[in-house]
Amino acid sequence: MLEKDDLARFPRPNVAVDIAVLSVLPRQLPHAIGSLAVLIEGEPGGRTLPGRFLREGQTISECVVDVLSVKAGMSNVRAEPRLLRAFDDPRRDPRAWTLSLAHSLTLPPRLLRGARGALVPIAAGGQLVLGEPLLFDHDAIVSEAAAAIRERYERLPDPDGLLEEPFTIAELKSLHEAVIGVRLLKDTFRRRMEPNLRPLAEADGARLLRSDGGRPAQVFTRRADLEPEAAIQRRGLLPRAAR
Amino acid sequence: MLEKDDLARFPRPNVAVDIAVLSVLPRQLPHAIGSLAVLIEGEPGGRTLPGRFLREGQTISECVVDVLSVKAGMSNVRAEPRLLRAFDDPRRDPRAWTLSLAHSLTLPPRLLRGARGALVPIAAGGQLVLGEPLLFDHDAIVSEAAAAIRERYERLPDPDGLLEEPFTIAELKSLHEAVIGVRLLKDTFRRRMEPNLRPLAEADGARLLRSDGGRPAQVFTRRADLEPEAAIQRRGLLPRAAR
DNA sequence: TTAATAGTGTCTATAAGACAATATATA
DNA sequence: TATATATTGTCTTATAGACACTATTAA
């Protein structure tokens, strides 16, 4: 094994952490659906995902919190970034050897009020709706992050916690429509999500919610007692006995 | 933006690349199934995944090739490592600030002949079948890598290219049973895989293969003309019109 | 009452899961 | 021929997808 002095002998890369901060934008027209969106910083011609260099003594999560507070002006954010990809071309930054670790992070719109930068809608294909391409491979990061969150939102109710509990199934459906970018069927949606929701008992306080006039809806919380892996239906290759 | 001199002012981490090299072991008993396995190096009490520090001017893929040739004695390996996780605890290595990027890589058994280290079978739960735990979080890496490859092998025929083409469906099924760790139903398996296979025409040479006596089987190659995303069946939340 | 939304019933199409029948080679 | 494996047929069950009906509130 290498000794301390040997470790110090090799050149080391700068390590940057870039973050696709995902959230949702409300519908713009009465009968439209909302949209998945990502936080972009920089002026036209130099737009990027927020990011910064990892400092000594810092975890990646701490670095992400730093990015959000220093660059986006947000504080008190719990950060559970997902690692998506590493940019490792040794010549990608002409100034110095720099490795970039691309992450995604989902934050509820409430936490993004007043953030510096623009929340840019993401199209169904994963491209940004507005403006020129981002620098580096950041457009690819956005589309990877979008594909991943969309897959998560096809299986479980609000897995990234965009919605405040409790919520109605209609609210949950609007959220999923915004994330996935497609209008969904209410009955199929309900049947898929209900096994992973817990109806709030009347004793818990406000039992029913309203929206625009109409029958009040039951409110739910996410079921935390289920393993996410056990919760999704596993129709696959395995014979019944093996499940 | 920071200038070159500023970049050099910050301390930088060592970056290690650790690799879960996955392969399959043949069945040990006449009617058993094969097993998913991972390459482990080191002696009892200090077993780890193979890995090394990233050198200047090197991509991660090149570093992986280096690990395989220097540490495992294998050369001429095409490496398409998948990034799984980053170990970022600033104090995880007492010698120096070290970041570790954990990857997985699938290699056919043929390429692992004569490799230094042991191919240790992986149980259905993702744990190593033999020996003591690995150092660091390497056991968790193995189980993440196993879960990921098992999910891939529930959808598409040999997506990681463990089998040499052409192959029969029986050979493909044995491989998938080894990877997933469960015996599969032959008819369900065939119907799931066949849409993504191309039967080899008679003109292509040896049309039929044999195994132990019995009716010869059609041989197939993987269909490269399908997008992997389009190939898997997408029963989900989306109404038909949106697909 | 009407309007508006919530929730359920039910029919159809598709695919998994399971078993059995048929096909094609070798010995 | 018997034997072994490959391939297809088909029945059952589960669920997605779709549509329509009923339920419950406010105005």
- Summarised one tens digit per residue, pLDDT across range B123-140 is 988 999 988 999 888 999
Contact residues for B151 (Cβ-Cβ < 8 A; gap 6+) = none
Measured distance CA(A142)–CA(A138) in Å, rounded = 6
A191: CB within 7 A of chain D nucleic strand: yes
End-to-end CA distance of chain B: 44
Evaluate whether B107 touches B24 at the Cβ level (below 8 Å): no
Fill in the DSSP letter of residue B201: P
Closest among B92, B3, B87, B63 to A101, alpha carbons compared = B87
Q: How confident is the model at residue B238 (pLDDT cuts 50, 70, 90)?
A: low
Question: What is the predicted pLDDT for the residue at B31?
Answer: 84
Measured distance CA(A112)–CA(A22) in Å, rounded = 10
Whole-number average pLDDT of chain B: 86
Q: Is the pLDDT of residue A130 over 90?
A: no
Evaluate whether A102 touches A21 at the Cβ level (below 8 Å): no
In this predicted structure, which of A108-117, A203-212, B176-185 has the lowest mean pLDDT?
Answer: A203-212
The more confident residue out of A152 and A236 is A152
Tell me if B83 and A86 make a contact (CB, 8 A cut-off): yes
Measured distance CA(B45)–CA(B117) in Å, rounded = 14
Question: What is the predicted pLDDT for the residue at B237?
Answer: 62
Task: Give the side-chain half-sphere CA count within 13 A for A119.
Answer: 20
The more confident residue out of A30 and B99 is B99
Tell me if B86 and A101 make a contact (CB, 8 A cut-off): yes
B window 214-233: Cβ near strand D (< 7 A): 214-218
Q: How confident is the model at residue A236 (pLDDT cuts 50, 70, 90)?
A: low
- The proportion of chain A whose per-residue pLDDT surpasses 90, expressed as a percent, equals 59
Which residue, chain included where needed, has tokens 């996780």? B85
Whole-number average pLDDT of chain A: 86
Measured distance CA(A230)–CA(A226) in Å, rounded = 7
Nearest residue on chain A to B232, alpha-carbon basis:
A236
Instruction: From chain B, pick out residues whose CB is under 8 angstroms from the CB of A7.
Output: 14, 95-96, 98
Count of other CB atoms within 10 angstroms of residue B195: 13
Q: Is B53 at the interface with chain A, CB within 8 A?
A: yes
Q: How confident is the model at residue B3 (pLDDT cuts 50, 70, 90)?
A: low
Q: How far is B154 from chain A (nearest CA, A)?
A: 6
Instruction: From chain B, pick out residues whose CB is under 8 angstroms from the CB of A154.
Output: 236-238
Evaluate whether B23 touches B107 at the Cβ level (below 8 Å): yes
Tell me if B237 and A184 make a contact (CB, 8 A cut-off): yes
Question: What is the predicted pLDDT for the residue at A239?
Answer: 61
In the beta sheet, which residues pair with residue A35? A25
A192: CB within 7 A of chain D nucleic strand: yes
Q: How confident is the model at residue A2 (pLDDT cuts 50, 70, 90)?
A: low
Question: What is the predicted pLDDT for the residue at B232?
Answer: 43
Q: What are phi and psi of A68, to 5 degrees?
A: -65, -35
Torsion sign across C-alpha atoms A143, A149, A150, A152: positive
Question: What is the predicted pLDDT for the residue at B42?
Answer: 87
Q: How confident is the model at residue B208 (pLDDT cuts 50, 70, 90)?
A: low
Integer CA distances (angstroms), B82 to A16, A182, B17, B57, B144, in order: 19, 30, 11, 20, 11
pLDDT digits (tens, 9 = 90+) for B58-107: 999 999 999 998 876 777 677 799 999 999 999 988 889 999 999 999 99
Q: Residue closest to C5, CA→C1'?
A: A214
Distance from residue A215 (CA) to nucleotide C3 (C1'), in Å?
Answer: 11
Q: What's the predicted TM-score (pTM) here?
A: 0.90
Q: Is the pLDDT of residue A230 over 90?
A: no
* Chain CA centroid to CA B6, Å: 40
Closest nt to B211 (CA→C1')?
A: D5
Question: What is the predicted pLDDT for the residue at A8?
Answer: 66
Tell me if B12 and A15 make a contact (CB, 8 A cut-off): yes
**Mean pLDDT computed over A197-226:** 75
Q: Residue closest to D24, CA→C1'?
A: A215
Q: Is B123 at the interface with chain A, CB within 8 A?
A: no
**Mean pLDDT computed over A126-141:** 92
pLDDT digits (tens, 9 = 90+) for A69-80: 887 677 767 779
Footprint of strand C on the protein (CB under 7 A): A 168-170, 186-187, 190, 211-218, 235-241; B 185, 187-188, 191-192, 208, 210, 213-216, 233, 235
Count of other CB atoms within 10 angstroms of residue A148: 16
